[in-house]
Amino acid sequence: MAFTLGAGETPIAELRWARHGGSLASAQMSNETWTLKRGGFLNPHVTVRRAGEESNLARITAHLSAHRIEVRGGRVYRFHRSGFFVPAWTISTESGQEILHIEPVRQGRKLEGGAVVSTPEGTRIPDMLLLAVAGWYFIVLAWFEDEALVPLEGAETEIPGSGPNAPVSGESRGP
């Protein structure tokens, strides 16, 4: 599984999982490679490291509704859902200024890609690529984990109108 992060048509990084169902991934940029991995059970977190290094470049600490991204050098960012029913995520400064908006794009139950939008203030932050890659990794991993639970839910829990033949964006499908 791999995703390309780009600015318009220009690829900036590729996020690739080492194996299906695992949490180890790598992010390849033009000049360096990072590894990303989920860890912890009671204290879940994600670490980002430069390939070959033992110390963290960044760490996402997961909490119930708001998460923290701590970057080497002491910088801290907030990472949270944009809304209860909205699948988008926001990264902001510690003072609450939004700098990055990440929204997954799906086709049915399949994650097709995403849109990442930086605010003008965000473009001036040196951690922007790191935040975008770490945030996207977290979102994709959470998506995979949610989808892994679907077979356990059973047919009786399907929401009416949500199946593969359900209308999309007001579109109606006839016989």
Kind plus residue range of the DSSP H or E element containing 145 = helix 128-148
Instruction: Report the b/e string of 155-174 with b at 16+ CB within 10 A.
Output: eeeeeeeeeeeeeeeeeeee
On whether the 2-148 domain is CATH 2.40.160, my answer is yes
Kind plus residue range of the DSSP H or E element containing 82 = none
Each domain of the chain, given as residue ranges in start order, spans: 2-148
Asked if 59 contacts 47 with a C-beta cutoff of 8 angstroms, the reply is: yes
pLDDT(9) > 70: yes
Q: How far apart are CA 21 and CA 145, in angstroms?
A: 9
What does the pLDDT look like over 58-113, one tens digit per residue?
999 988 777 999 999 999 999 988 877 777 899 999 999 999 999 888 777 777 77
* Residue closest to 40 by CA, chosen among 54, 64, 67, 60: 60
Kind plus residue range of the DSSP H or E element containing 74 = none
| Candidate from 5-19, 81-95, 156-170 with smallest mean pLDDT | 156-170
